[in-house]
Amino acid sequence: MTFSAAVSTCLSKYATFSGRAPRSEYWWFALFNFLVGIVATVLDKIGFGTGPDSKEIFGAISSLALLVPSVAVAARRLHDVDRSGFFQLLPVGVLCVSLGLALFADSRPLMWVAVAATVGATILFFVWTVSRGTVGANRFGGDPIASDSVAPR
């Protein structure tokens, strides 16, 4: 899948959390998200300055506009590796639970465990997003490569 096809697909499936997304669709859209963020930051700096009181209006608007399709394509990407889309909440969930326990116990070592567990969960999510998807149908649908009629991986 090309950059423009991935962006077009993700924006046309704005809030579609079902189905599957190949690696190329997910990572091209991640690059698009990154580039939009850079452009928004530059526009904010040009329009509102760089001081401590500067506004980040364009950054906020672009982040909010791309939040839903980003979560949706991540869910579809996880579906491609036969995982529930809810697994994208794993790093945040681990962080919240571990930090909650660490703060409740008032323990610095537990805070470091919380950080380590969150980093581990983030690495696991990253590994899933770069892994090859299930060949053929899985419980989330057919092969996204075959259904998109593009060259095989």
Domain positions in the chain are 1-80, 82-137
Read off the pLDDT of each residue in 121-137 and give the average, rounded to a whole number: 92
pLDDT of residue 150: 45
Residue whose C-alpha is closest to residue 79's, from 7, 4, 13? 13
Residue whose C-alpha is closest to residue 24's, from 88, 77, 65? 77
- Mean pLDDT score across all residues of the chain: 88
pLDDT of residue 31: 98
Model confidence pLDDT, tens digit, residues 23-72: 999 999 999 999 999 999 999 999 988 888 888 899 999 999 999 999 99
- Least trusted range by pLDDT, from 14-23, 50-59, 120-129, 138-147: 138-147
Q: Model confidence at 115, in pLDDT bands (50, 70, 90)?
A: confident
Residue 153 has pLDDT above 80, yes or no: no
pTM: 0.84
